[in-house]
Structure 1
């Protein structure tokens, strides 16, 4: 028998059912260093607060009204006496600060063995196996910024046809190729070959296709990126919702992060704004269960590139769309705004930063202006969503639903 949703009271005292959770992951919008951040080389990091401190006039009024500036560590944003949403910050239990581990914890999995990283580049056995599999020699094989590496090696790549293989401080095997030199389908096949090679003792969290276009001096990465992840080691919140016969809709790179596991429908997106457009389209359509969206531009375009001004503008641009998201919601919807890690654009280097992430919960069945303090795990969100939807759940986390429901 399909589990029944949990009834709650809306603003008018009527009993309604929570039928759908909308989760919007603001990729890398952290809210302060975790207690162990120094072990990861991150001291004094705080993505959102440092952006606010360093940009006079920075204004995200809709997120502020929902309560983001009331979260501990976000004082520079500015608080709201009567926030519309419930709010908290969540600590990461898992080891690491990468996309995959962050998303897995948001859906109920704790990971204590971090994925492999390659600060010296990939070893010969990996490179040789890859070159044999794809029939091409490679260039680069070192940690690098994605935009810098194509400027450095893009012309050589175009002249030789050799794919640019590089990594970063994250557990990634990245392949950059000009779309006119290595067609997309061939690039994707290369990624599939790398995914098969990067297993076992050389397992990486993600293999990423990084296509680009243009000419030397004006190369530009395209929106045809694809991520090839390892599958989660156990069921996530998405699997539990799917098993209950409900919809699990993935917007953006969510389907890649979970390697398709637990997902009933998905769509890739070209930008943050496209991600918002697709999310609103799904909110307005007939579905019941969960819509999970990743807005990757914050991380990929601004965090890694240490472009604090661009990051600030991207946050303001997203904030302007929030009224549309809320207006599209039904009375039986609840929206969650959160993140998967930090990427402080005011900090040194180009890597993610180990931070708390924000959590805002809003809907007609949710009490406004509830401060939930600091949650012990990202997985608390997963347990809460399962509780709201009345779905049987066996993952990590502690539900806070009883403290915020009307």
Structure 2
């Protein structure tokens, strides 16, 4: 009987362009394929589970006898960002994309933000997070202004030097922005982007996301309501605005995230879902077009996955997936519209089952709820009977 599910999201590890990729400028994107070409790429544990047996994966040798279940899922929502991707995994299909601001935020939004924070705004355009502090950091320190910028995603990002704007004060400014950004301006995330040091400055690990609250019932909501535990590792608690979560741990990076997941698997008695997000794939490597860095991060995850396998108990299931793509080998530094992979294994899971190509990320939601016998109030169709022993 399954008691604990570990759902691990390799943030941005897409597995090939979706049929509508052209609408998003993402024809040819394949994040995993790009990483597999690097000499830093080695994922024997995921290969053994069936990663390279997934339909359409023709760039690595398939496993003759995969030990896990495997497949891929298409995104039904209109978008390709973290919020929409995770929400769809959790049962919410977004028919309308979240607002983006290729020309910066409108005057009425920034006027209200400046009025309520008492600080002026610099930049107000799409920008690289590392370049924006290099270009505007000195002026921000000299004038006391806040650096506000966005990207191709639905985000309102605020950068400030920790020595001049303490982290908690920056978080307060983010909460103000979150209150302002409603209605037509309901961006997916307001993100605190603190930096430190001398020019050209470095970003710190004190990033914090202030997300839009999900507008439908999620896997987490349903499980918590039914009395099950829901444990967040990493920024899951932020993506879902804290809703439906009974416990959470924050992490510094992918390695720390997997170490804490392994510790939970080894030492925490719970009955329900441990939902994990590993963001470095996307934030540190994908957006910076660092193919070798991304490939090496997948290699390091695979090592930790082997350690997780050793501490798993009877009744545990591990599911590995993604939320979108971010192909580090394409000229774009933005997310890409891709299929996401799916791997599952555990004592109660069959070996060698190909679930094929699923039409919606939310099939994961339906399957997790089915495991615990909880009614699905969201989207998705369960494939539990295909994979359960």
**What TM-score bracket applies, with the shorter chain setting the length?**
over 0.9
Query: For residues 161 and 87 of structure 2, what CA distance do their matches in structure 1 show?
Result: 32
Match of 2:228 in 1: 246
Query: For residues 261 and 58 of structure 1, what CA distance do their matches in structure 2 show?
Result: 36
Contact persistence 1:117–1:170 (CA under 8 A)? yes
Query: For residues 84 and 149 of structure 1, what CA distance do their matches in structure 2 show?
Result: 46
Structure 1: gaps spanning 5 or more residues: 1-16
SS of residue matched to 1:104: helix
Q: Cα offset for 1:76?
A: 1.9
Equivalent residues in 2 for 1:88-99, closer than 5 Å? 88-99=71-82
Q: Which digits, 9 at most, give the CA deviation of each residue in 1:149-187, with x for residues without a partner?
A: 111111222222211100000000000111101100110
* Count of matched residue positions in the alignment of Structure 1 and Structure 2: 388
SS of residue matched to 1:25: strand
Query: For residues 57 and 158 of structure 2, what CA distance do their matches in structure 1 show?
Result: 37
Q: Cα offset for 1:57?
A: 6.0
Query: For residues 169 and 222 of structure 1, what CA distance do their matches in structure 2 show?
Result: 22
Structure 2: gaps spanning 5 or more residues: none
Which of the numbers 174, 180, 201 marks the counterpart of 1:197?
180
Match of 1:46 in 2: 30
Between 1:350-359 and 1:279-288, the stretch displaced more is 279-288
Q: Cα offset for 1:194?
A: 0.4
Query: For residues 224 and 175 of structure 2, what CA distance do their matches in structure 1 show?
Result: 26
Match of 1:226 in 2: 208
Contact persistence 2:253–2:279 (CA under 8 A)? yes
Which of the numbers 22, 37, 41 marks the counterpart of 2:6?
22
SS of residue matched to 1:362: strand
Contact persistence 1:49–1:73 (CA under 8 A)? no
Which of the numbers 259, 272, 277 marks the counterpart of 2:254?
272
User: What TM-score do you get using the length of structure 1 for normalisation?
Assistant: 0.94
Query: For residues 58 and 248 of structure 1, what CA distance do their matches in structure 2 show?
Result: 32
Query: For residues 5 and 248 of structure 2, what CA distance do their matches in structure 1 show?
Result: 16
Q: Cα offset for 1:350?
A: 1.4
Q: Which digits, 9 at most, give the CA deviation of each residue in 1:210-244, with x for residues without a partner?
A: 01111103x21111111011111111011111011
Query: For residues 76 and 160 of structure 1, what CA distance do their matches in structure 2 show?
Result: 52
Contact persistence 2:155–2:190 (CA under 8 A)? yes
Query: For residues 33 and 321 of structure 1, what CA distance do their matches in structure 2 show?
Result: 28
Equivalent residues in 2 for 1:2-401, closer than 5 Å? 17-53=1-37, 55-56=38-39, 58-217=41-200, 219-284=201-266, 285-401=268-384
Contact persistence 1:119–1:169 (CA under 8 A)? yes
Contact persistence 1:48–1:74 (CA under 8 A)? no
SS of residue matched to 2:65: coil
- Distance change in 2, residues 1:336/1:75 (3 Å): same
Contact persistence 1:144–1:168 (CA under 8 A)? yes
Contact persistence 2:18–2:339 (CA under 8 A)? yes
Contact persistence 1:20–1:389 (CA under 8 A)? no
Q: Which digits, 9 at most, give the CA deviation of each residue in 1:128-162, with x for residues without a partner?
A: 11111110001100000111111111122222221
Contact persistence 1:304–1:343 (CA under 8 A)? yes
The Cα RMSD (Å) is 1.0
Between 1:292-301 and 1:231-240, the stretch displaced more is 231-240
Query: For residues 301 and 374 of structure 1, what CA distance do their matches in structure 2 show?
Result: 29
Q: Cα offset for 1:196?
A: 0.6
Q: Which digits, 9 at most, give the CA deviation of each residue in 1:262-318, with x for residues without a partner?
A: 101111110001110111122121111000000000000001111111101111111
Q: Cα offset for 1:59?
A: 1.3
